Chains A and B, each alone.
Chain A
Amino acid sequence: MSTTFIEGSIAVAKTVGVCRPHVISAYPITPQTHIVEHLSELVADGEIKAEYVNVESEHSAASVVLGSSATGARTYTATTSQGFLLMIEVLFNIAGMRLPVVMTCVNRAVSAPINIWNDQQDSLTARDSGWIQLYAEDNQEASDMHLQAFKIAENKDIMLPVMVCMDGFVLTHSFDPVELISQEQADKFLPPFKPEYYLTPKNPLTLGTMVGPDGYMETRYFIEKTMHASLQVISDVAADFHNQFGRFQGGLIDTYKVEDATLVLVAMGSIIGTIKDIVDELRAKGQKVGVLKVRSYRPFPKDEIYKALSHVKEIGVVEKAVSLGYGGILVNEIKSVFYGKPKTPKINGFILGLGGRDITADTIHQVIKETVKAASEEKFVGLNEALIGGK
């Protein structure tokens, strides 16, 4: 297998291309643009046989793929930040209609103030939408996740949309060596999309009916049930991928030096790579630290996380988003993993890197120190003291 030195966005676009999507629709927004530009080039050059639909908004991009998916087509879209928020109404609709659309959410901060740099506030805002959300650590994983995403979404027992989340600029615009997936390999891994139900005069179905108090709740119940079932499917698809390609970036979660660790940081996305470096550095000094990557955020793999962390004394949850008026989002969910369990570790939450604030080795060192030192609490790390009154 050959490795190509390639920009993250281009690697993702090429992978989406070999997944043989029938319809791609997108609206340009930084830093998602390179992905959709490259896909439109692949279509223009005849390298992939897909309909590429330029639309007048993200709302319509999502609506186009919704209509195409309901007609039996394999579909893809990508967006970020404000575009993602504009799409949200349709995202809930796609999940509610059980359409296996795959999209990339390039993670970017949300306005106001306008900021084009990376954090994960956008996708986390749609955590309750019924989309499966997978977070990529690096460009190899981001690329590979898209092939896996179609297989998960189109599984007859799942039929839910999947969102691959990758950090804007940090991943999308960085060049890395990536093992690209060939058409032959993709075809071997991903069977053609053959939905059981789709719009055709041969079998006239009514989709998107009005459902009253007598039936609405059951639609939610079924999605929730399917989300739980998808825990196994996500693991299985990751294992299948490992078997065919020899690469494994984790199923629901991934762990790095967690087995004997007393202190573990928990995070999602590209920050995992930075943390791994610090873990190696501290391990060399004899400190028993590790890192746990939440790869599948929805469905949330409670049991796997508990199993991996039940022996740990101190947990630091590091996240690039905030639920204003509550605090950290992921930390809340990690705390809930330990509710009712015999032993509860000390769990601290750290909000950092918002709006592209640099996350350095020093930032992670500070987080680890605070995790050891403090009682359970949540704090912002890396604030500019001059801007907050020099406290």
Chain B
Amino acid sequence: MSTTTLTAPKEQSCTLLASGHTACTGCGEALAAKLVLGAAGSDIIVTDATGCLEVFTTRFPQSSWEVPFIHSLFENSAAVASGVEVALKALGRQNEAKVIAQGGDGGTADIGLQALSGMLERGHDILYVCYDNEAYMNTGVQRSGLTPFDCMTTTSPCGELSWGNKHNKKDMPSIAAAHGIPYVATASVAFPKDIENKVKKALSITGPKYMQIHSPCPLGWRSNPQLTIKVAKLAVQTGLYPIFEMENGKVTKVRKVTTPKTPVEEYLKIQGRFAHLFKSPKGKEEIQKIQEIADRNVEKYGLA
């Protein structure tokens, strides 16, 4: 095992996700992961799915993780975390660490959904965190099940016959909640304190917890890296990314949208992945459809 293990240089960093990793400038996921770890503290064991986070933090022989970390494969972060959790129990070490499983949107909602469902159904005491940047960014911005409607990716390009992604974003929080788990929450890197509060609350609850954090990817979204927080904030303020908590299947808390409401154009126009919607008169109709998605979210979750 000595060839595949290494320790992070503790004294050189002040956070649990050490700086010096290779994430892109303005990476929302790096910020989200740092906030999650900061709130969770050092007595944790984390698993991670294959993806940007694992790649930019663990390039041998370096590691940014100041906490015990294991990456195995793309689709099994939840199952590996299940193994970690039961092992701690079997070894009488359950008070030693909380278990946090991590994955991107593809590793969570697509290829990893089955393993995640198993983890949620079995009642493991694990917090699963999905860093949602709405496409397969690590492989070059391909469409995932959490890519939003009409979004352009490298496998849902716009063209004569296409406005981009044909499908609506999969409602992953509801899928998680349908397992009867005690806690589901969405969050956004635009609201760091909210992330920290939710991680702390989740870890205070025994059983499976699911958190989905909206994490802009400037490279894939073709947005200005300086505007990561602004982009993320607009997704919430327009109602396109509803922020809420669900406890035992019921929505118990939401973050209100702005009044008067911010039109979705404000969010869409600063991202290249939606630029095609602004290039022809017909694009207006598509933007209207996206506005309707936001409006439905506002109504569904009571965000107004």
A: residues with CB less than 8 A from B are 22-23, 25, 49-51, 53-57, 59-60, 63-73, 75, 89-90, 93, 96-99, 159, 195-197, 199-212, 214-215, 218-219, 222
- Asked, given contacts A59-B115, A201-B44, whether A206 binds B5 with beta carbons under 8 Å apart, the answer is yes
Using A59-B115, A203-B68, A205-B68 as known contacts, list a sample of 6 further A-B pairs with CB atoms less than 8 Å apart, ordered by residue number in A. A51-B86, A51-B89, A56-B117, A206-B65, A210-B60, A212-B60
User: Quick one: which of A73, A205, A210 contacts B87, CB cutoff 8 A?
Assistant: A73
Chain B residues contacting A22 (CB-CB under 8 Å) are: 87, 90-91
Cα distance A67–B121 in the bound complex, in angstroms: 18
Number of A-B residue pairs having CB atoms within 8 Å of each other in the complex = 196
Cα distance A98–B86 in the bound complex, in angstroms: 20
A209/B4 in contact, CB under 8 A: yes
B83/A25 in contact, CB under 8 A: yes
Residue of A nearest to B74 (CB): A89
B7/A66 in contact, CB under 8 A: no
B208: min CB distance to chain A, Å: 14
Residue of A nearest to B124 (CB): A53
Chain B residues contacting A63 (CB-CB under 8 Å) are: 72-73, 76, 79-80, 82-83, 115
A256: min CB distance to chain B, Å: 39
A206/B8 in contact, CB under 8 A: yes
Interface residues of B in 71-120 (CB under 8 A from A): 71-73, 75-76, 79-84, 86-91, 93, 96-97, 114-115, 117-118
Residue of A nearest to B54 (CB): A210
Chain A residues contacting B90 (CB-CB under 8 Å) are: 22-23, 49-51, 68, 73
Cα distance A217–B228 in the bound complex, in angstroms: 38
Chain A residues contacting B87 (CB-CB under 8 Å) are: 22-23, 51, 67-69, 71-73, 75
B7: min CB distance to chain A, Å: 6
Interface residues of B in 1-51 (CB under 8 A from A): 1-8, 42-45, 47
A208/B68 in contact, CB under 8 A: no
User: Quick one: which of A90, A214, A219 contacts B3, CB cutoff 8 A?
Assistant: A219
Chain B residues contacting A56 (CB-CB under 8 Å) are: 114-115, 117-118, 121
B174: min CB distance to chain A, Å: 19
Chain B residues contacting A90 (CB-CB under 8 Å) are: 72-73, 76
Q: Check B296 for interface membership: any CB of A closer than 8 A.
A: no
Residue of B nearest to A156 (CB): B1
Interface pairs (9), CB distance under 8 Å = A54-B122, A60-B82, A67-B72, A71-B45, A73-B86, A201-B42, A204-B66, A207-B4, A222-B3
Q: Check B67 for interface membership: any CB of A closer than 8 A.
A: yes
B298: min CB distance to chain A, Å: 35
Chain A residues contacting B68 (CB-CB under 8 Å) are: 199-201, 203-206
Residue of B nearest to A54 (CB): B122
A204/B65 in contact, CB under 8 A: yes
Chain A residues contacting B232 (CB-CB under 8 Å) are: none
B65/A64 in contact, CB under 8 A: no
Chain B residues contacting A55 (CB-CB under 8 Å) are: 79, 82, 118
Residue of B nearest to A195 (CB): B1
Cα distance A98–B44 in the bound complex, in angstroms: 23
B: residues with CB less than 8 A from A are 1-8, 42-45, 47, 54-55, 58-61, 63, 65-73, 75-76, 79-84, 86-91, 93, 96-97, 114-115, 117-118, 121-122
B6/A205 in contact, CB under 8 A: yes
- Asked, given contacts A204-B68, A204-B69, A222-B3, whether A209 binds B83 with beta carbons under 8 Å apart, the answer is no
Cα distance A333–B20 in the bound complex, in angstroms: 48
B262: min CB distance to chain A, Å: 39
Cα distance A359–B198 in the bound complex, in angstroms: 63
Cα distance A70–B72 in the bound complex, in angstroms: 10
B-side interface mostly:
mixed
B80/A66 in contact, CB under 8 A: yes
A73/B91 in contact, CB under 8 A: yes
Cα distance A200–B84 in the bound complex, in angstroms: 10
A64/B80 in contact, CB under 8 A: yes
Chain B residues contacting A51 (CB-CB under 8 Å) are: 86-87, 89-90
User: Quick one: which of A57, A64, A201, A208 contacts B82, CB cutoff 8 A?
Assistant: A64
Chain B residues contacting A99 (CB-CB under 8 Å) are: 1
Chain A residues contacting B121 (CB-CB under 8 Å) are: 56
A197/B72 in contact, CB under 8 A: no
Residue of A nearest to B2 (CB): A197
Chain B residues contacting A195 (CB-CB under 8 Å) are: 1
Cα distance A203–B1 in the bound complex, in angstroms: 15
A206/B69 in contact, CB under 8 A: yes
Q: Which residue of A23, A196, A215, A219 has the most chain B CB atoms within 10 A of its CB atom? A: A23
Cα distance A12–B6 in the bound complex, in angstroms: 37
Chain B residues contacting A202 (CB-CB under 8 Å) are: 96
Chain B residues contacting A209 (CB-CB under 8 Å) are: 4, 6, 58-61, 63, 71
Residue of B nearest to A21 (CB): B90
Chain A residues contacting B79 (CB-CB under 8 Å) are: 55, 59-60, 63-64, 67
Cα distance A90–B79 in the bound complex, in angstroms: 11
B281: min CB distance to chain A, Å: 47
Cα distance A50–B60 in the bound complex, in angstroms: 35
B258: min CB distance to chain A, Å: 41
Chain B residues contacting A206 (CB-CB under 8 Å) are: 5-8, 58, 63, 65, 68-70
User: Quick one: which of B54, B61, B97 contacts A200, CB cutoff 8 A?
Assistant: B97
- Asked, given contacts A56-B118, A90-B72, A219-B3, whether A23 binds B83 with beta carbons under 8 Å apart, the answer is yes
Chain B residues contacting A207 (CB-CB under 8 Å) are: 1, 4-5, 69-71
Chain A residues contacting B114 (CB-CB under 8 Å) are: 56-57, 59-60
B84/A210 in contact, CB under 8 A: no
Residue of A nearest to B58 (CB): A209
